[in-house]
Amino acid sequence: MVTIKSKREIELMREACRVAALAQKEIEKAIKPGISTYELDKIAEDTIRANGGIPAEKGYPSGEKGVPNFPGSICASINDEVIHGIPSKNTILKDGDIISIDLVAFKNGYNGDCARTYIVGNVPESTKRLIEVTKQAFFEGIKFAKEGNRLGDISNAIGTYVEKNGYSVVKEFQGHGIGASMHEDPGIPNYGKPGRGIRLQAGMTLAIEPMVIMGKSNILQLEDGWTIITEDGSLSAHYENTILITKKEPEILTII
Ligand code: MG
């Protein structure tokens, strides 16, 4: 069910999103060669809790039999890992890596969700371009995120922009509505046809999240039941914000 948030709910969403964005800022400051993804996880958890929130990814059920709940407060996905990388003391960032951090803050009954891909030390221009195109794909998508447009208009804009730049979008995972639950309807694919899908209404809150692969779109899941990697070993980037649909331009709630 797609939920339309009341004025009060929008204020609560705004605050949860602010906390999520704060955690990203603290992580960005800490990213450097030699730090472990466990330490980044701790920074995110401490920041979210210090601001009255709970890291909502911690303990999130996988839905697959025999797979433990997600152990981290962040998803930390390095290089060819696309999403859902598990933070670990043994995973140490190296010069030349890229790392996607996806996190959700839950506060006062509502969720704020955002993801960024960071560079570690020095990376080639081609890698920077992947990250830039992934970020820009989000902004291309939200040009269509206003009341009266259709969901497919956003999806199409993202997918078209990514492919025009020579990259692939992940098909198996998608953005989503968000609110009291981390994942609400509608699902928001990063590809699709304009003019299709539900009609957007003011008061919808959506997590829009291009997941982009430098090579082919095929993905694999590791045996941990969580980590998604690219099949061809090429790099992947992720960029996500929670937005509010209005009658005019969308509001991006997780950029502060
Ligand atoms: Mg997310």
Is residue 2 a part of any domain in this protein?
Answer: no
User: Is residue 171 exposed (0-12), middle (13-18) or buried (19+ Cβ within 10 Å)?
Assistant: middle
- The pLDDT value recorded for residue 50 is 98
Ligand 1 centroid from CA 113, angstroms: 5
Ligand 1 centroid from CA 2, angstroms: 18
Task: State which residues form the domain around 33.
Answer: 7-252
Ligand 1 centroid from CA 232, angstroms: 24
Is residue 1 a part of any domain in this protein?
Answer: no
- The pLDDT value recorded for residue 109 is 98
| CATH number, domain with residue 220 | 3.90.230.10
Ligand 1 centroid from CA 104, angstroms: 6
Is residue 131 a part of any domain in this protein?
Answer: yes
Is residue 93 a part of any domain in this protein?
Answer: yes
Is residue 111 a part of any domain in this protein?
Answer: yes
Ligand 1 centroid from CA 95, angstroms: 25
Ligand 1 centroid from CA 238, angstroms: 9
- The pLDDT value recorded for residue 201 is 98
The H-assigned helical ranges of the chain are: 7-30, 37-50, 125-142, 151-164
Is residue 52 a part of any domain in this protein?
Answer: yes
Ligand 1 centroid from CA 164, angstroms: 25
CA distances 221 to 36, 72, 85, Å, are: 22, 17, 10
The total of structural domains in the chain comes to 1
Ligand 1 centroid from CA 83, angstroms: 9
- The pLDDT value recorded for residue 241 is 98
Q: What are the tokens at 149?
A: 């447009």
| C-alpha closest to that of 134 among 249, 214, 206, 194 | 214
Is residue 31 a part of any domain in this protein?
Answer: yes
What is the C-alpha separation between 221 and 253, in angstroms, rounded? Answer: 31
| Full pLDDT tens readout for the chain, 256 residues | 899 999 999 999 999 999 999 999 999 999 999 999 999 999 999 999 999 999 999 999 999 999 999 999 999 999 999 999 999 999 999 999 999 999 999 999 999 999 999 999 999 999 999 999 999 999 999 999 999 999 999 999 999 999 999 999 999 999 999 999 999 999 999 999 999 999 999 999 999 999 999 999 999 999 999 999 999 999 999 999 999 999 999 999 999 9
- The pLDDT value recorded for residue 7 is 98
Report residue 27: phi and psi, to 5°.
-65, -45
Whether the model clears a pTM of 0.75, i.e. scores above it, the answer is yes
| Model confidence pLDDT, tens digit, residues 27-69 | 999 999 999 999 999 999 999 999 999 999 999 999 999 999 9
Dihedral sign for Cα atoms in the order 30, 34, 40, 42: negative
DSSP 194: T
Is residue 246 a part of any domain in this protein?
Answer: yes
Ligand 1 centroid from CA 90, angstroms: 23
